[in-house]
Structure 1
């Protein structure tokens, strides 16, 4: 059944907006060539999009060309402003952007105190960063946070291992700012960013193994992020593994893979290899080991990381594991190659291991991508085929 005229117009408009987003400003003739639409149809859609305030003339193509066909049309980037938050146990980082993701302002601050004080501090940080970026109103806010997301409600699960202000922040932001607020697990957002802009750009199926203060994993199968029945897919810190001397429990991951590969465990491992240094983070320790060619330490780290990577490979056969987080980025190809060698020895399933291209910034980037996609779908309409 052919689409109605109104549906066809909506599809054409969304197609043109997608091209303007991905390609940048285009002339009417370029839109005609890229969309395959007739010249009158392109003229009509450009007029509609200008009338809606989504598209404007932003210049001309070629210094010698003049006239309507030379006008460059672009998306009005300040049509909406967005914010991305990377929420850690005791701090928040904020990035404010325009509709196309151009950074306007960013800031970070420690967050502490009781729930009310912590929430107010975070709200003040977001509001101040928005003002600095010239955003009078935020359209959508994306939040990346540790912890499980309830698949039914989109809320953070209540857990004693995380501060209470984490769960209160999203509602407070929505009430104070009137913005749409999206909350997602930090590792899932990191995987989204690595697939869009990082090490997994060519992969529809992969696992992101997050190595930072804690450990986690995100699972993408056939282009879809998998969450599980309770939102807990990828809680690899609880995976029972040899070499820890105990087993994890329902209330704590000590004794699981966390005890082998978290930041504290890598610090202890570094001390065993004579690499301990006051104030040096686990990522700094691994980065120093790569630069100084401390092969024995890197081999020991790879032995541990490979246990988690091989477990994911055996269960999911993802074909690719990305080592994310600050430690994964710091280890780079030197650590990734070592882990791949060990996974190959442990599993008959061919698994490529890659280093993160984004590292610790992946959470913030993933939160921004989530906010951008939601805001653009709201303003532009759903992409064709949705």
Structure 2
């Protein structure tokens, strides 16, 4: 006997319609029945049945009335965004930032907390658990609805073996088994992502990478790193360490710029930038000197990937803005055969957190949409 299937049955078709209808509400915001018909392509009776089922499932609610023809008001339907939820976390050596994430990617308060310096005062499990509670309290959200967490760190976790943590800025955090320990302690799905990769996700969605098929992002902060966006997909490497260019040796031709520099970190890291720029903003001469350093640091990226666009991001890149980007573009052309467009970041405020939010948005959305399928099966 052939295996039975629910595909094509009324309940299956209803679940498909419901999922499409819920997607429309997430994409377009509150809609009337007519609006749902126009976007989804269903009849008015079908739209009414869809909304009735979604309301019963607890994923849609009526949200007031919209004035229509004289004497008639249309009900507005909206997706419920209070469940399920995620929390995005971004932390560096000094501060932790966190925010709630809903299925539509709406705006939520950002909470900030200073981090202790001593390893004995640090705890990965305690810090992330508190970040979840603080973010939910600031948003009046229920922590019990948080199912997924994304933690952006200055470093990376090897996805194989014992899950070794490679970082120099998280004292007191476990070197092995961080992912499993967080999931066990929090009782939630946890993603640990490199901070520069998350900044690239934000750049793709909201910033300088929006109109480019492929781009490389060069992060200039206290540390130096890179991320590679290949047609909207991040390349992380086999062991998660793609883009850790701060450890690369300085090209021989760049030694004249800084005879004491041995690595790319020495050439364009935070300490090097502070030696080049005396004030809050670079002078024209300082900008040119910094641009040449950055151009040499970028050459490994350009030689490996040959991207059409290079985005300069991070706090030290932001000091120079578009003028620094233009100077780097000119310097790259002067010292090499490559000629990418070099752009200043388009995400100025909390770029790593913005990327973590975007990373989670799609996952929280799928969790909400999967609720419809589970209800249909039940």
User: TM-score, length-normalised on structure 1?
Assistant: 0.81
For 1:251, the equivalent position in structure 2 comes to none
> Aligned pair in 2 of structure 1 residues 111, 94: CA closer, same or farther (>3 Å)?
farther
Asked whether 1:128 is paired with 2:117, we answer no
The alpha carbon displacement at 1:28 in A equals 1.9
- On the 8 A contact 2:329/2:339 being kept in 1, the answer is no
CA deviation digits over 1:268-305, x for unaligned, max 9?
122xxxx25xxxxxxxx3xx22xxxx111000111111
**Which residue, out of 208, 226, 229, partners 2:217?**
208
Equivalent residue pairs, number = 356
Distance 1:368 1:170, change over 3 A: farther
Superposed CA deviations along residues 22-70 of structure 1, whole A, max 9, x for unmatched, are: 22111221122122233343333222222221111112233666668x2
In structure 2, relative to structure 1, the CA distance for the partners of 1:132 and 1:169 (3 Å cut) is: farther
Give the Cα–Cα distance (whole angstroms) in 1 for the partners of residues 109 and 212 of structure 2.
31
| Whole-angstrom CA distance in 2 between matches of 1:267 and 1:159 | 22
Q: Comparing 297-306 with 310-319, which one deviates more in the overlay?
A: 310-319
Q: Does 1:73 align with 2:77?
A: yes
Give the 5 Å matches for 1:146-161.
146-152=154-160, 157-158=165-166
Counterpart position of 1:32:
37
| Residue 239 of structure 2 corresponds to residue 230 of structure 1 | yes
Matched, 1:295 2:302: no
Distance across 2 between alignment mates of 1:165 and 1:360: 26
The question of whether the paired residues in 2 share the 8 Å contact of 1:321 and 1:352 is answered with: yes
Displacement of 1:348: 4.5
Match of 2:227 in 1: 218
Change (3 A) 1:51 1:378: same
SS at match of 2:22: helix
Could you tell me how far apart the structure 2 residues matched to 1:372 and 1:207 are? 23
User: Secondary structure in 2 aligned to 1:188?
Assistant: helix
Please tell me whether residue 110 in structure 1 is matched to residue 119 in structure 2: no
Match of 1:321 in 2: 310
Residue in 2 aligned with 1:255? 262
Pairing 1:52-201 to 2, within 5 Å after superposition: 52-62=57-67, 70-100=74-104, 101-104=106-109, 106-114=111-119, 117-119=122-124, 120-137=126-143, 138-152=146-160, 157-158=165-166, 162-165=170-173, 171=180, 173-201=182-210
Q: Distance in 2 between matches of 1:166 and 1:362?
A: 26
Which one is further off, 300-309 or 163-172? 163-172
Match of 1:354 among 331, 337, 343: 343
Partner of 2:275: 268
Taking the aligned partners of 1:26 and 1:81, their CA distance within structure 2 comes to 22
Q: Give secondary structure in 2 for the equivalent of 1:72.
A: strand
Matched, 1:13 2:18: yes
Structure 1 runs (4+) greater than 6 angstroms displaced: none
Distance 1:329 1:111, change over 3 A: same
Unaligned 5+ segments in structure 1 are 246-253, 277-284
Q: Work out whether residues 57 and 71 of structure 1, in 8 Å CA contact, stay in contact via their aligned partners in 2.
A: yes
Instruction: Give the alignment's Cα RMSD to 1 decimal.
Output: 3.1
Q: Distance in 2 between matches of 1:110 and 1:382?
A: 37
More relative contact order, 1 or 2 (CA 8 Å, 6+ apart): 2
Q: Is the 8 A contact 2:93 2:115 kept in 1?
A: no
In structure 2, stretches of 5+ residues that fail to align are 1-6, 373-378
